[in-house]
Structure 1
Amino acid sequence: MEFYANEGKDVLIQANGKIYARHAITTHFVQAGESYIDLVERYVKPVYQPGDILSSSEKVIALCQGRVVTEDQVRPGFWAKLLSRFVRQTAAGPGMGLPVKMQFAINTCGLGRVLWAAVRAGLDKLRGIHGTFYRLLGEEVRGLDGFYGEDIPEYKHIGIRVPRNPDMVCNEVYKRTGVVMMIVDANDLDVDLLGKGNQLRDWKQDQLLALIVDNPAGQNRQLTP
């Protein structure tokens, strides 16, 4: 089998005292409501071998689950427009600097909690501590993707939430396809493990993330989710 790596990424990585080979699997552009089981059967099974671990983007699983919100469902109000002005943009995108994303946070957590998180985040920034806002509001807010079309134009007008029950998804995929799987939230700044199958119970989180610490799937329109 010939391994494929996205531009700027390497096939091989040294992690956990070993050298691992990664293969970026190209798919079609996945739409909301598709079956992740069908995707695994169509694209993964033909190249999968015993001992392999499938690393899936949380975005593609969430799309399959229909975990999508539209601009019409999240209309920014006064507080969302005001608070978003104070958000620092990173290389991963504007994040909560988009009023529509800030409104999602308000709708999800309540205005009081968002204001409290914003105050705490401002105080922590004075001490050189970053990321407080997202830590206090939780995974649902931190993991919202989309509403930004610079990298992927199709996501300009929709937001993609975190997947539901990611551990359960991994176990279902293994039961129905035999593929061992983990679900990650990754960009070029950070990687996070959202779920893994029971077959990976002996793997620690940092061991699994070490395999994809360089985000080999990419965060643009590589079509290798």
Structure 2
Amino acid sequence: MSELELVPVRTRILTDKDNIVDILAQYVKDKIGPNDVITVAESVVAITQGRLTRPEDLDPCFLAKVLCRFIPQEGSMSSVAGMQAVMDMEGKYRVLFAMIAGIFGKLLGKSGVFYNMAGRQAALIDDVTGTMPPFDKCLVYGPANASEVAQSIKERLGCYGAAVADVNDLKRSLIVGTSDGLAAPELAKILINNPFGNASQQTPIVIIKNYAAAAAHAQA
């Protein structure tokens, strides 16, 4: 898809008082066309939905204090608060069973077993410092109804499609939800180098210009 262009869009700091679809209409309506795809960082969508909590509001259990030690330091569940937050959302025994299965999976040479079994929030939650101030003191859960959000964005703005993405600088690219007709694996590849900037850059929106034309050319 050589004709593709990734265009980050700067916004003000977004909060739970904002509607993400209204925000996109405000910031990108003059920058998009019918061939373009709008992608939004999942943490920002979650913040506008109010899906966040402070570590001091959690009550970590003994199991959370033990299991968090098995998560690599770069993982959001490596903190007691991050582990407890996921347990509160997905169930502590589900997380425990997933951890046991993950350990056996690694012994058999299989990676990703824990995250596949622990529930969606295990992969999506952002620990403190994972977002920009004033939310850098909060844990941010994954967004709710991400595909419905993406579909609403597409219908409101008249673009080719929209997606909610969870991408980081470690070459992890996950499409959390898409509007109708988009291929999540292809979008994940396009965003693999993390064009988003959720910290001081304040660019949680990325427009994939000419996506429809490039996709049609690739299929020809």
Counterpart residue number, 1:49: 33
Further displaced range: 51-60 or 63-72: 63-72
> How many Å apart are 1:152 and its aligned residue?
3.5
Provide the TM-score with structure 1 as the length reference: 0.81
Cα deviation 1:32-71 (Å, max 9, x = unaligned): 2311122112211121122111111111111111112222
* 1:106 aligned to which of 60, 82, 87: 87
Matched, 1:216 2:216: no
Greater helix share, structure number: 2
Q: Which residue identity does 1:192 align to in structure 2?
A: L
Counterpart residue number, 1:168: 148
Native 8 Å contact 1:33 1:63 kept in 2 = no
Native 8 Å contact 2:173 2:189 kept in 1 = no
Counterpart residue number, 2:214: none
Q: Which has the higher contact order (CA 8 A, sep 6+)?
A: 2
Q: Give the 3-state SS of the residue equivalent to 2:36 in structure 1.
A: coil
Distance between the aligned counterparts of 2:200 and 2:105, measured in 1?
Answer: 34
Matched, 1:24 2:8: yes
* 1:124 aligned to which of 75, 93, 105: 105
Identity %: 27
Distance between the aligned counterparts of 1:109 and 1:44, measured in 2?
Answer: 35
Native 8 Å contact 2:86 2:125 kept in 1 = no
Native 8 Å contact 1:151 1:221 kept in 2 = no
Native 8 Å contact 2:102 2:113 kept in 1 = yes
Cα deviation 1:135-189 (Å, max 9, x = unaligned): 1112122111132x27745333211111111121122223333243111111122
Counterpart residue number, 1:68: 52
Q: Which residue identity does 1:193 align to in structure 2?
A: I
Distance between the aligned counterparts of 2:185 and 2:156, measured in 1?
Answer: 27
> How many Å apart are 1:86 and its aligned residue?
1.9
Q: Give the 3-state SS of the residue equivalent to 1:61 in structure 2.
A: helix
Native 8 Å contact 1:187 1:218 kept in 2 = no
Counterpart residue number, 2:125: 144
> How many Å apart are 1:197 and its aligned residue?
1.5
Q: Give the 3-state SS of the residue equivalent to 1:22 in structure 2.
A: strand
Further displaced range: 126-135 or 188-197: 126-135
Distance between the aligned counterparts of 2:108 and 2:201, measured in 1?
Answer: 38
Please identify runs of 4+ aligned residues in structure 1 that moved more than 4 A.
none
* 1:186 aligned to which of 167, 187, 202: 167
> How many Å apart are 1:222 and its aligned residue?
2.1
Aligned residue pairs, count: 202
Provide the TM-score with structure 2 as the length reference: 0.82
Q: Which residue identity does 1:126 align to in structure 2?
A: L
Distance between the aligned counterparts of 1:82 and 1:194, measured in 2?
Answer: 29
